[in-house]
Structure 1
C-alpha cells in the first residue's frame, strides 16, 4: 500500500491535551490519515502534499456530542418557545411526516453544516427511526457526508422491547460490524420513556457492548433523582453513558455519575432557550466528569461550535456570586475538543494533536477584521472566530474543506433538496 503524507505547514498550532496551549508557529505532519509529528520545520519526505497554513490557527476539530442532525430542514422553526412545545410541535407533529428520503437529505445537510463549521465528529442522536428504511437512510447519509460520526440509535418502531432488540442488533450488525465504536444506543428511558423501557434499553446496550446516550437530569429535580435510582436499582449505573443536559442534577448526583464513569453533554443554547435549566458546565466539570458541548437542534438554536463555546463561557462566568469566574477560554476550548472525545469514549482517537491519533484538524483564518491582531490565540478562537474563518478541514487526513469551500459534494444541490424536503415536511395538513 502506498503511503500518503500531508504537511500542514507554518500555522500557529494550538493543542488541547493535557490542557489547551499554544505551541506556536509549527508544522503538523499527517501520514496515512494519522498525526505523525508536530513541530517546526518538519520534513514530509518526497511526494507529500503541502498545505500552506500561514495566517491560520491549526487545532483539533470540534466534537459535538449530541445533535439531532435530521432536523436541518426545520432550522429556526421553534424559537422563543419551550421544551414541552418542542415535543408537541416537532416530535409529535412534524417528525411523523418524515420519509426516509427526508431523513437522508436532512442528515446529509446537517452533517455538511457541521464540517463547514469545523465540527469533525458528531454524535448523531437520532430519534427519527420509525422504520428500518429511515435508519438505513440516516446511516448512509452520515457515511456519505465524510464526517466522523457516532450514530446514536433511538428505536422508534412498534412491537415492544423484543422488536427493539431485534432491530438494534440488525443495525449494529449490518452497519457497524467493522466499526464497533461508530454506534451508541440513544435511550428514551428511564426519564422520558419510563423506567421499564429504560431498563430494557440499557440492558440491551450492555448486552451489545454499546455506550448509552440519554436525555437525563433535565426534566425536574424529582425526575432526575428517580432516573438515577432506577439505573442504580438494576445495576446499570456503571454502564458507559452520556447524560444529556443534566441541568437538574445536584453536585452530589454529578459526583455519583463521575464515580460510575459517566459523562455529560451540555447544550447551553437550548437549555436556556427552551427552559430546560441553567447549563451545568462548571458544576459537572468540578465533579470530575468529562463535560462536552452539543448543538442539540437547529430548530431552536445555532448549530456551530463557536456559538456554543461563547454561550457556555458566558453562562458559566455569569453564575451567581461569581461561582463560575474561574472558568476560562482554555476550559471551554477543552470541552469543545478533547473532553468531547472523552465523552464519546474516543479520547485515544481524536480530540488533540498527539501523534498516533486520527488527523482531524481545522485551520481558522486570522487575516480577517474579526481575528486580526489577536493577542491570545485561544481566546480568539473562543471569543472572536466564527464559521467564516474556517478555511480548511481534515477528517482522518482527508481534506473535506479547502479555501473555505466544502469538497466532495454539490452543496447547492444538497441545499435545493433540503428546501424541497422542508416544504413537504412543513406543508399545511390537507
Structure 2
C-alpha cells in the first residue's frame, strides 16, 4: 500500500487530500435447471478508484490497471474532473481514522468445494423441493454464486485498512403443476459462509409458495387483514429503504424529513440497521470511508429515530456519521446505504398470525416493487397468495392489487412473527397488518 501512497502523492503534489480504494473480486457462478448442469462462469476484476479533494471540490477516476504509470494517469484524470466540480462543503475525507483490526470473515471451507459438488448441491436443492410436494415437477433455474473480495483503502489523513472476505448467494425456483395449470415461485438466500444458507428451508419455502398458488383466481375488492410472508415483507422493506438514507434527506426525497423522534408506526415496529450483525452480508467493523460501524435504531417502537448517514450526508446535515457509507465497487464513489436492515422479530408463529382473524390474506409474492414511492410512501402492487378462513386455506388468489401508504401500513401492524430471516442485506419476520385494501 505504501507504493500506492507514494505514487499518488508524487502525482498530486501539495495541497490535495486523497483517498485510494483498491478492490479485487473473483466470481464463480454455477447454474442448473431441472437437475442438469446449465452454466458455469468464472471472472476476476481488479481495479482502483482515486478520490481527490481540494478547497471543497472533488474529483474521481478509476483504473483497471494498477501499475505506477496507470495510477499516475488516474490521479491526473481525477484532478481534471475536480476542476469541473462545484464547491460543496460535504466533500471531506475521514480525518480521524480509527485503529481497528478487522476480523477475518472468510469461508475457506466453502471456497474449497469443487464445481461438481456445487452442481450436486443445487440438484439436491431441486430434488428436495419435489420431495416436499409431488406437484413440484421441476425448476427453471437454480444458482450458487461465490464472491471472493479483497479491499485495500487508505487516505491522506492516515486511514489504512484492508480485508479479505467471502459472499455466497443461492437462488432457486420451483414449478408446480396440477390439472394442466402451472405456477412458479422463487427463493433467495445469502451469507458470508456457505453454511449460512439453509438449503432445506429454501426448498420448503419455494415448494410451499408454488403449490399454494395453484388454482388461483381473482378476488373481490375489500379491506382485509393481511399477513406478509417473511420474504415479501423483507422485499417491501428493501423497496422503501431509500427513505432512511442521508442521501435521500439531502436531496429532499424522503417522506421522513422532519419526522425525527415522532411516531410513524405501531409500537410493535422496530427497524434496525446493524453494520456489526454477526456474519451479516453488510457487516464489517468499518464502513467504506473508515467510520466505525454500529447498530443503528432507525425506528424504535414506532418512533423514527434518524437517518443513516455517510460522511458526506452527515456533514451536509450537521450530524455525526452512522457508519453507513457503502461502495458498489472501485468504480463508484461512497454513498449512504443500508448495511444489514431488518425488522425486529416478535413472538408469534406464522400459524398464530394466520389464525388471528376469521379471514386473512397471506401474501406470498409481490410484483412491481420498483414502482413504490419512497418520497410519498405510496404503493400499489400486484400480489399473489392465499385467502384463509379461520386459519384454513379457502382459495388461492392471483392478479390482485394491494395499495396504500407505507406509514399507514406500519401504523396498522398488529402482529410480528418469530420467523425473522435475512434475504441479503434486508430481513423481516412475517407481519400481520390489521387491514389493507385488496382488489382486482
Q: Which one has the bigger helix percentage?
A: 1
Q: Which one has the bigger strand percentage?
A: 2
Question: TM-score, normalising length from structure 1?
Answer: 0.23
Question: TM-score, normalising length from structure 2?
Answer: 0.23
- 1 or 2 for the larger relative contact order (CA 8 Å, sep ≥6)? 1
Largest Rg, 1 or 2: 2
